[in-house]
Amino acid sequence: MDRLPYRATAQASAYERIAKLPVTILLDNVRSLYNVGSFFRTADGAGVEQILLCGITGRPPKKAIAKTALGAEESVAWCHSWDAAPLVAGLRARNYEIAAIETTPTAIDLFDWRPNFPVCVLFGHEVEGLNPELSALADTHVRIPMLGVKHSLNVATAGGIVIYELLRKYRRIQESAPGIGGF
């Protein structure tokens, strides 16, 4: 596994001092470098812990990632592994809820989901979705409601919706728990 090869810049140091949303993003076989860059920028904006890049998912430094990340690829912690399963097992051992963002027969609506933080959200290939083996490792399957003719969104768009809904839910939990600060 490649381990957090981002440079220790002033931007990275500043990001490390920010209270983190207890969410990890795992991208498995996401082909588009622009989508990967968009995930970095969203992760930075929401204060996500880290991004795990798996399989054929591109990783920095790449011009197309930098174009959409706008520097977030140098502040958000990330690593790469060809195999996502061991990373998921490691997160599960640390009591992360593993949530596949995928429309399946057992998927619950994003707005009805009550996540158990910390959470790792799994996003897959832009056309084929998550591979069945990785999907089977999830504790929860979550779908974004689709009310039109189409049944899916661009993976980076879906990521933005899910991550900011998790931020909203986490803030609500913190507001209702006296003495807990941060967000």
Q: Model pTM greater than 0.85?
A: yes
For residue 168, what pLDDT band results from cuts at 50, 70 and 90? very high
Residue 41: its H or E element:
helix 33-46
DSSP 120-149: EEEE-BTTTBS-HHHHHT-SEEEE----SS
> Which domains does the chain carry?
2-176 (3.40.1280.10)
**CA distance to 78, 88, 99, 116, 176, per residue, from 92 (Å):** 18, 6, 11, 12, 26
What percentage of the chain exceeds 70 in pLDDT? Answer: 89
Give the per-residue pLDDT at 43.
Answer: 98
Give the per-residue pLDDT at 3.
Answer: 47
Question: Is residue 181's pLDDT more than 60?
Answer: no
Q: How far, rounded to the nearest angstrom, does the alpha carbon of residue 28 sit from its chain's CA centroid? A: 10
Give the per-residue pLDDT at 7.
Answer: 47
Query: Bigger pLDDT: 178 or 136?
Result: 136
Mean pLDDT on 54-78: 97
For residue 53, what are the β-bridge partners? 27, 80
Query: Which residue spans within the chain are E strands per DSSP?
Result: 2-3, 21-28, 48-54, 77-81, 97-101, 108-109, 119-123, 140-143
Q: How far, rounded to the nearest angstrom, does the alpha carbon of residue 183 sit from its chain's CA centroid? A: 18
Strand pairing report for 77-81 and 48-54: parallel
Give the per-residue pLDDT at 46.
Answer: 97
Q: Which of the residue ranges 31-45, 129-143, 166-180 would you say has the lowest mean pLDDT?
A: 166-180
- How many other C-beta atoms can be found within 10 angstroms of the C-beta atom of residue 127? 8
Give the per-residue pLDDT at 101.
Answer: 98
The pLDDT tens digits for 104-132 are: 999 999 999 999 999 999 999 999 999 99
Question: Is residue 179's pLDDT more than 90?
Answer: no
